[in-house]
């Protein structure tokens, strides 16, 4: 899997969670995960999570670290497993920095305040994952916390690169582990 931290700020509005968005915009073909910083403003008509639509819960963050991943030749259930793996890798990286947090499904919380948003979906050609981590929680429509203003994490790009590297390495290691056993 190829990974890249994008230099330019990008406002995440939901439409980016679409087949070949990474390839068309950044010339990365195949399995890929990109990370970027920017405002997050997902209106209900761009929401993939039907539960959020039913509950009338749009997503907003003044500043968010977003990860978009497109992975081919897997089903949606495996995609959800990979989404949860990404969340666990983020949780480990934060715990390494002394942050106490809890995971509930694909969400991370600090002191019952929501730190992340995440969704996995299936396109006609791939599985798509978006995971966002609030950098600044001010102005969020729910009780939220942010990496910078609440947790004191200011090395956002370093943090993003660590997540990208660890996620790609873990997926590669899983595939490698599957090649070293004999069938029974």
| 149 within some domain | yes
**Tally of structural domains, the chain:** 1
| 181 within some domain | no
Give the per-residue pLDDT at 58: 87
| 178 within some domain | no
CATH number at residue 58: 3.30.930.10
Q: Find out whether 83 and 106 touch, Cβ atoms under 8 Å.
A: yes
Write out the residue range of the structural domain in which residue 139 sits.
Answer: 2-172
Q: At what angle do helices 156-178 and 76-96 cross, to 10 degrees?
A: 130
pTM for the model: 0.96
pLDDT digits (tens, 9 = 90+) for 130-161: 999 999 999 888 999 999 999 999 999 999 99
User: What is the Cα–Cα distance from 184 to 65, expressed in whole angstroms?
Assistant: 44
């Amino acid at each position: 899997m190829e990974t890249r931290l994008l230099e330019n700020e990008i406002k995440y509005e939901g439409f980016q969670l679409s087949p070949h968005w990474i390839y068309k915009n950044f010339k990365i073909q195949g399995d890929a995960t990109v990370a970027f910083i920017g405002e997050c403003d997902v209106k209900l008509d761009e929401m993939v999570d039907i539960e959020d639509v039913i509950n009338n819960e749009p997503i907003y963050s003044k500043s968010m670290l977003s990860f978009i991943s497109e992975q081919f030749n897997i089903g949606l259930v495996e995609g959800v497993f990979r989404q949860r793996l990404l969340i666990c890798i983020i949780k480990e990286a934060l715990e390494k920095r002394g942050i106490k947090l809890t995971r509930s499904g694909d969400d991370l919380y600090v002191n019952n305040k929501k730190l992340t948003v995440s969704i996995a979906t299936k396109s006609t050609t791939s599985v798509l994952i978006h995971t966002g981590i609030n950098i600044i929680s001010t102005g969020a429509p729910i009780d939220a916390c942010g990496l910078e203003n609440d947790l004191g994490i200011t090395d956002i790009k370093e943090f993003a690169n660590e997540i990208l590297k660890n996620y790609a390495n873990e997926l590669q290691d899983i595939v490698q582990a599957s090649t070293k056993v004999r069938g029974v």
